[in-house]
Chain A
């Protein structure tokens, strides 16, 4: 029998059992109540409790069995598993009906089960982080067993080309040994992030200052959602825009100044990424500037400072922790951005300080390593996880620092809505 059919059979039987439990439970509770005995709960609650006591154990047995099969590789015939879980379900049904007694607190029992289920759902988010960590760390460790960690961190040549020959056991045939020196990748990532920040921080911050301090209410209500549109455009669209429209313009402009620019230059993805990030910085900075207490502005104006001086010397310094926190979040966003660089930046690992040359980034190499026809266990594929690990650690620390900074700002001015 197919797995699908077995699953359907399981669900169907369970549904029938549940219905039986519901009606039996309710009938029994109604009978007890009709006899004049005072009960702790309503008949429906007893009915639902019987359903839970039928389905819960049955599903638990099924799930545990499936996990044991998957994890330990134990061969439990699926039909036995089905039968076992249904037997447990029937036992649960019997117990549930037996528990329909006047002195049994069905409502509280349901409450406990529901709290348990909800807590289980909350654990899934923890499991996700855990899953990311385990999957990345596990594969990264496999990678570092093949390649030295030190070479990975300090090497300046990234040439995974020959690694598939090694994986095939033909290392000698390769023209050169595979090299995994990640410095050029990080340099490229850093350069593109730098360009993006040079675009996003001034424009985003100034927009926020304008919206918070100068703009009339009408402009404010209009400008905020318009900026949010920038954040809502899919990154693949930005990538196409960077590659097809912005990169040729940059090549032309560079040519006008007598410079030689590659079509995969680092400037185009950097600028477009910066534009994408503007709303992140502007909306968070706007909130922060707005929550600087008005008394500080009043004090400054009362001393005879102009509006501009007040903003520059009082408001912005007060809001600085929040602004820095927004910028750190933006940096972490830029580091992990994938589609724009995959489509507009180069594939060639290139250690250079010239943003007009083509460069590659960590995320580009991750995608390149995982979309090839490589065997999963090859060093190139696993290198993606090593790069992912570095990306995870860096973005995680940036986020944590950012959270700490904004918390400090909040405590200093006692603001609760940030």
Chain B
């Protein structure tokens, strides 16, 4: 009599084990995703944090007559290959600006060559053995050390890794996003207000709705093709500029802002509208004075998220030519500019190993800004969220 029971309980145990296995498997899947995230950030930090430090060496700069003709002569032959060529190139100009320098010799901390930088950080470098010995001696004397890398934040792109920075790209990003925001925010909010508050429920409205959802799912590179064919070739907007990049990104951000605004408008209860209509407001007055102010936090949150998305976008900007070598900080909306992700893309393609570090450093800055933006959006939502 006991055998069937044993069989059944054995079967039951098997079934429960199977059930438990599913639980562990699914937990493992989530863990895998989390593990990847950790690995990714660890990898980026390890590669990128050294970019915020930079080698400097103390050398004797001889402001002689000869140095103003031949900048290389300003420093001793021994340390000549160790000093950044970009620094040496500036010496004649400095002597012209400050005539009293002529004939003096000063000990100065100057930017070291990118290879010295890599050597001091323990990476592979192209320094010869004799040069390595000189660097080792300088380190012992306290005349070569790693310092905080201000160049990275104050200068534009350069072919010399020690002089390359993200300033021009950051400025380009800022200007591009300004254009994006100026175009997509008003149009997006207006579209959402029309669809939620004004539009009759007819075929045209449904078409617009389907169309907006579709736009949100179209590959970003196709927006680049649109930007190239319509904005640049047809309207003649200058290539590579923040204007054309911003317009292209604006079209991409538009659906995000529209969808977020509609959700925010929908969450405002109808009783508010009824009350406003009841005291004789017209539809526009209801929207302007009552619905929009209540929906504003949601709209802002959605716009920030859309903006963060636009900030990380690269593919459409490559198509409209915003991947350019921009050594100076751009100051005009109609001049060639580049953006942070495009700068990362450019550096990632540089053969010099020192640029890997720069790339990772740029990535860390970009991620920090994006995470800040998204966190702001989350905090705003938490703070202003209202349950009706």
A residues engaging B (CB < 8 A)? 70, 107-108, 110-111, 114-115, 117-119, 121-126, 128-129, 131-132, 134-136, 138-139, 202-207, 209-211, 213-215, 223, 225-227, 229-230, 232-237, 239-241, 243-245, 275, 278, 282, 306-309, 311-312, 329, 332-333, 335-339, 342-343, 363, 366-367, 370-371, 376, 384-385, 388, 391-392, 395-396, 399-400, 403
Scoring B residues 219 to 256 as 1 if CB is less than 8 Å from chain A, else 0, what string do you get? Answer: 11111111011100111100000000000000100110
Nearest B-chain residue to A135, judged by Cβ: B229
Q: Is the CB of B221 within 8 A of A366?
A: yes
> What is the minimal beta-carbon distance from B266 to any residue of chain A, in angstroms?
11
Q: Which of B173-221 contact A (CB under 8 A)?
A: 186-187, 190-191, 193-195, 198-199, 207-208, 210-215, 217-221
Complex CA distance for A329 and B34, rounded to whole angstroms: 22
The reply to whether the CB of B107 lies closer than 8 angstroms to some CB of chain A is no
Query: Of B24-32, B88-96, B136-144, which binds chain A?
Result: B24-32
The reply to whether the CB of B170 lies closer than 8 angstroms to some CB of chain A is no
Complex CA distance for A128 and B359, rounded to whole angstroms: 34
Query: Of B120-128, B293-301, B311-319, which binds chain A?
Result: B311-319
- The residues of B that contact A124 with a CB separation of less than 8 Å are 187, 191, 254
Q: Is the CB of A363 within 8 A of B315?
A: yes
- From known contacts A111-B284, A232-B370, A312-B22, infer whether A135 and B218 are also in contact, taking CB-CB under 8 Å: no
Give the 8 A-B residue pairs with the shortest CB-CB distance, closest first: A336-B219, A234-B312, A308-B19, A135-B229, A206-B29, A210-B26, A121-B190, A338-B315
> What is the minimal beta-carbon distance from B329 to any residue of chain A, in angstroms?
21
In-complex Cβ contact of B187 among A121, A209, A214, A282 (8 A):
A121
In-complex Cβ contact of B15 among A107, A123, A214, A306 (8 A):
A306
The reply to whether the CB of B335 lies closer than 8 angstroms to some CB of chain A is no
- The residues of A that contact B356 with a CB separation of less than 8 Å are 244
Q: Is the CB of B33 within 8 A of A125?
A: no
The reply to whether the CB of B368 lies closer than 8 angstroms to some CB of chain A is no
Q: Is the CB of A226 within 8 A of B34?
A: yes
The reply to whether the CB of B43 lies closer than 8 angstroms to some CB of chain A is yes
Question: What would 20 more interface pairs be, CB under 8 Å, given A125-B191, A234-B314, A339-B315?
Answer: A115-B194, A118-B190, A118-B198, A215-B30, A229-B371, A240-B363, A243-B348, A307-B19, A338-B314, A339-B314, A342-B315, A363-B219, A366-B225, A367-B315, A370-B228, A376-B233, A384-B225, A385-B225, A388-B225, A395-B218
Q: Is the CB of B217 within 8 A of A399?
A: yes
- From known contacts A125-B254, A403-B213, infer whether A131 and B230 are also in contact, taking CB-CB under 8 Å: yes
Q: Is the interface of A mostly helix, strand, loop or mixed?
A: helix
- From known contacts A122-B190, A131-B230, A132-B225, infer whether A308 and B315 are also in contact, taking CB-CB under 8 Å: no
Q: Is the CB of B366 within 8 A of A237?
A: yes
- The residues of A that contact B70 with a CB separation of less than 8 Å are none
The reply to whether the CB of B73 lies closer than 8 angstroms to some CB of chain A is no
Q: Is the CB of B225 within 8 A of A275?
A: no
Complex CA distance for A169 and B226, rounded to whole angstroms: 28
In-complex Cβ contact of B214 among A70, A230, A396 (8 A):
A396
In-complex Cβ contact of B44 among A227, A241, A371 (8 A):
A241
> What is the minimal beta-carbon distance from A68 to any residue of chain B, in angstroms?
14
Q: Is the CB of A233 within 8 A of B29?
A: no
Complex CA distance for A240 and B48, rounded to whole angstroms: 12
- The residues of B that contact A391 with a CB separation of less than 8 Å are 219, 221-222
Complex CA distance for A339 and B23, rounded to whole angstroms: 35
Complex CA distance for A312 and B21, rounded to whole angstroms: 12
B residues engaging A (CB < 8 A)? 15-16, 18-23, 25-30, 32-34, 36-37, 40, 43-44, 47, 186-187, 190-191, 193-195, 198-199, 207-208, 210-215, 217-226, 228-230, 233-236, 251, 254-255, 258, 282-284, 308-309, 311-315, 318-319, 323, 341-342, 344-345, 348, 356, 359-360, 363, 366-367, 370-371, 374, 378
In-complex Cβ contact of A122 among B199, B219, B378 (8 A):
B199
Q: Is the CB of B230 within 8 A of A210?
A: no
> What is the minimal beta-carbon distance from B82 to any residue of chain A, in angstroms?
28
- From known contacts A135-B226, A308-B20, A308-B22, infer whether A115 and B198 are also in contact, taking CB-CB under 8 Å: yes
> What is the minimal beta-carbon distance from B217 to any residue of chain A, in angstroms?
5
Nearest A-chain residue to B254, judged by Cβ: A125
Complex CA distance for A126 and B212, rounded to whole angstroms: 8
- The residues of B that contact A110 with a CB separation of less than 8 Å are 284
- From known contacts A125-B211, A371-B323, infer whether A207 and B29 are also in contact, taking CB-CB under 8 Å: yes
Q: Is the CB of A309 within 8 A of B19?
A: yes
Nearest A-chain residue to B18, judged by Cβ: A308
Complex CA distance for A138 and B225, rounded to whole angstroms: 12
Nearest B-chain residue to A228, judged by Cβ: B374
Q: Is the CB of B366 within 8 A of A234?
A: yes
Complex CA distance for A92 and B36, rounded to whole angstroms: 64
- The residues of B that contact A366 with a CB separation of less than 8 Å are 221, 225, 319
Nearest B-chain residue to A123, judged by Cβ: B208
> What is the minimal beta-carbon distance from A326 to any residue of chain B, in angstroms?
12
> What is the minimal beta-carbon distance from B336 to any residue of chain A, in angstroms?
15
Q: List 30 A-B contacts (CB under 8 A).
A: A118-B194, A119-B198, A121-B187, A122-B194, A125-B255, A125-B258, A131-B230, A136-B225, A202-B29, A203-B33, A206-B30, A207-B29, A207-B33, A237-B341, A237-B366, A240-B344, A240-B348, A240-B360, A306-B16, A308-B15, A308-B18, A309-B15, A309-B18, A333-B217, A339-B341, A366-B225, A370-B224, A370-B228, A371-B319, A392-B218
